[in-house]
């Protein structure tokens, strides 16, 4: 791969991904889009000539202190607290231990070893802030999700994000040299809800692996999953947690079958992903919901899938549903479209950017299962509409790529380095 010339490109970046490792399987627990983002951009950054060292908390005594993710990409496992037993909510108490571990790693290197710190999620941002001060390098921060935005659109029964997170995010926003937002809307949220300096925010859309996620033979994908060739297949892919609204899909399916008895013999619903979050909507709870709705015979719950197995799910589906209450972007929506499958998504956050309404899928306002059932039914009854959306979907997905994301990040890093004024940032007055 040729190297794009970007002046002030860092030689080596310390990436902080404290609460979840890019080596973990996404789609369960705390591992999701952020893991994919960090791994995909790090690989490409290294190929473009910027080395990446990813700092993450060791979640097992078995992991080595240092592991190679790809040429030029190192994962450093930092011991901070008991390995397995900690929940994400326990991690604010481990920031000091993690920070100390990261500083110790740097102290063993030549001076000026890292040119820049990029932190992902507010917990990493807190440590990134410290590293910035200690190492005298710029801090670029990506929030991935924001507590104030999340709390403004909670799923029913979901717990609000705690105040400690809101305060922590405010501090990081004030002290980072540059903030990376996935969308223009997220950039506005940073400015209006978190008082970010608009000049300090770069909009960098995430991407999709366009080599892995490609259209393919639907019949073959269905055979591989033991699905009938003429079935109507709906799929949900993602961490099973209230925020993602898997229950909305199940309730909509119940409604759909209530309206069209004929569909019961043909409809198949795949729910792919592992337990995550506050636990109310763990797969078992979803299985019980499917039972109580009388639709268990059409729903199949599948453990998290990866690689070709995940591609097979997207290809087998007529429609992929993303009924999230909040989504800072929604990589699943891009991946499904890249495979030629239209997406029916909630009109929230990044999904309104990822899905072109009426072109590559449909956006649904609200989470009323009746509305969702209506959209599914109208599409199921019009296979030619679904075929048209599916045909347009890969081009819509191709507007995004990890290569572009990576190049934009490198531009952002260069900008942060050029404008870095040492340690007299506006956030210095932050309490």
Annotated binding-site residue? 241? no
73-78 and 66-70: which strand pairing?
antiparallel
Exactly one of 53, 170, 189, 335 binds ligand UDP (CB under 6 A); that residue is 335
**Annotated binding residue at 159?**
no
Of 273 and 390, which has the nearer Cβ to ligand UDP?
A: 273
Give the CB-nearest residue to ligand UDP: 32
Q: Is 143 in the site for ligand UDP (CB under 6 A)?
A: no
Binding site annotation covers 32?
yes
- List, in sequence order, every residue forming a beta bridge with 13; answer none if it has no partner: 52, 116
For the bound state, the minimum distance from the C-beta of residue 427 to ligand UDP, rounded and expressed in Å, comes to 27
On whether the CB atoms of residues 316 and 286 are closer than 8 A, the answer is: no
- Owner of token pair 């305060």: 167
Binders of ligand UDP among residues 15 to 34 (CB under 6 A) are 26-27, 32-34
Spatial separation of the C-alpha atoms in residues 17 and 74, rounded to whole Å: 12
Is residue 47 exposed (0-12), middle (13-18) or buried (19+ Cβ within 10 Å)? middle
Q: Which is nearer to ligand UDP, 190 or 272 (CB)?
A: 272
Tokens of 402: 């990890």
Where helices occur in 234-368 by DSSP H, the ranges are 246-259, 283-292, 307-316, 331-338, 351-354
Q: Which positions from 227 through 256 interact with ligand UDP, judged by CB under 6 A?
A: 237-239
CA-to-CA distance for 299 and 321, rounded, in angstroms?
A: 14
Q: Which of 106, 115, 108, 145 is closest to 20 using CA atoms?
A: 145
Candidate list 18, 36, 179, 351; residue touching ligand UDP; CB under 6 A: 36
3-state secondary structure (DSSP) of residue 120: strand
If the CB atoms of residues 266 and 404 are measured against ligand UDP, the closer one turns out to be: 404
CA distance 28 to 333: 17
Check whether 305 is labelled as a binding-site residue: yes
Cα separation, 117 vs 114, in Å, equals: 7
Q: Among 272, 298, 299, 338, which residue sits at the site for ligand UDP (rule: CB under 6 A)?
A: 272
Out of 16, 194, 325, 329, the residue judged to bind ligand UDP by CB under 6 A: 329
Of the residues 72, 304, 361, 390, which one makes contact with ligand UDP according to CB under 6 A: 304
Q: How far is the CB of 331 from ligand UDP (least distance, A)?
A: 4
**Does residue 306 bind ligand UDP (CB under 6 A)?**
yes
Q: What are phi and psi of 139, to 5 degrees?
A: -110, 120
Our CB check for ligand UDP shows the closer of 128 and 238 to be 238
Q: How far is the CB of 381 from ligand UDP (least distance, A)?
A: 28
Distances (CA, A) of 12 to 48, 234, 298, 354: 12, 43, 50, 31
The pair of three-digit structure tokens given for residue 261, joined into one six-digit string: 């008895």
Alpha helices in 369-425 (DSSP H): 369-380, 383-397, 402-419
Q: Minimal distance in Å, beta carbon 324 to ligand UDP?
A: 8
User: What is the C-alpha separation between 386 and 379, in angstroms, rounded?
Assistant: 6
Which listed residue (273, 323, 361, 390) binds ligand UDP by CB under 6 A?
Answer: 273
Q: Counting contacts by CB under 6 A, is residue 127 touching ligand UDP?
A: no
Residue among 266 and 280 whose Cβ is closer to ligand UDP = 280
Q: Which is nearer to ligand UDP, 272 or 416 (CB)?
A: 272
Please identify, among the stretches 252-260, 328-336, 368-376, 381-389, the one whose residues bind ligand UDP according to the rule CB under 6 A: 328-336
The residues of the shown chain that bind ligand UDP, judged by CB under 6 A, are: 26-27, 32-34, 36, 237-239, 272-273, 304-306, 310, 329-332, 335
């Amino acid at each position: 791969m040729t190297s794009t010339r970007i002046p002030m490109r860092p030689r080596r970046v310390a990436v902080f991904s404290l609460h979840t490792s890019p080596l973990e399987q996404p789609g369960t627990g705390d591992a999701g889009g952020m893991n994919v983002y960090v791994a995909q951009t790090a690989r490409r950054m290294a190929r473009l000539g910027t080395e990446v060292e990813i700092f993450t908390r060791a979640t097992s005594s078995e992991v080595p202190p240092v592991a190679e993710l790809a040429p030029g990409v190192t994962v450093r496992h930092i011991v901070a607290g008991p390995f397995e037993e900690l929940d994400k909510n326990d991690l604010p108490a481990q920031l000091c231990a993690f920070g100390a571990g990261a500083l110790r790693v740097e102290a063993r290197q030549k001076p000026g070893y890292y040119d820049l710190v990029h932190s992902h999620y507010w917990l990493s941002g807190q440590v990134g802030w410290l590293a910035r001060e200690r190492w005298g390098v710029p801090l670029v921060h990506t929030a991935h999700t924001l507590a104030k935005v999340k709390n403004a659109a909670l799923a029913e029964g979901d717990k609000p994000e705690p105040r400690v997170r809101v305060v922590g995010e405010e501090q990081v926003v004030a002290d980072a040299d540059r903030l990376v937002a996935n969308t223009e809307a997220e950039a506005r949220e940073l400015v209006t809800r978190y008082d970010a300096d608009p000049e300090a925010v770069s909009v960098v859309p995430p991407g999709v692996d366009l080599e892995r996620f490609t259209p393919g033979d639907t019949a073959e994908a269905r055979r591989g999953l033991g699905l009938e060739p003429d079935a109507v297949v709906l799929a949900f892919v993602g961490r099973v947690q209230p925020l993602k609204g898997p229950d909305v899909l199940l309730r909509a399916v119940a409604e759909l079958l209530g309206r069209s008895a004929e569909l019961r013999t043909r409809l198949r619903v795949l729910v792919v992903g592992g337990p995550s979050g506050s636990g109310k909507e763990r797969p078992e709870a979803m299985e019980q919901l499917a039972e109580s709705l009388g639709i268990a015979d059409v729903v199949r719950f599948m453990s998290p899938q990866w690689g070709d197995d995940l591609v097979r799910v997207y290809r087998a589906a007529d429609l992929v549903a993303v009924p999230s209450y909040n989504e800072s972007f929604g990589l699943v929506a891009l991946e499904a479209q890249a495979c030629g499958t239209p997406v029916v998504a909630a009109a929230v956050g990044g999904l309104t950017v990822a899905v072109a309404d009426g072109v590559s899928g449909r956006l649904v306002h609200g989470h009323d299962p009746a509305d969702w059932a209506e959209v599914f039914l109208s599409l199921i009854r019009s296979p030619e509409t679904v075929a048209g959306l599916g045909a347009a979907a890969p081009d819509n997905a191709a507007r995004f790529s990890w290569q572009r994301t990576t190049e934009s990040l490198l531009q952002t890093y260069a900008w942060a380095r050029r404008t870095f004024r040492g340690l007299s940032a506006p956030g210095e007055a932050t309490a």
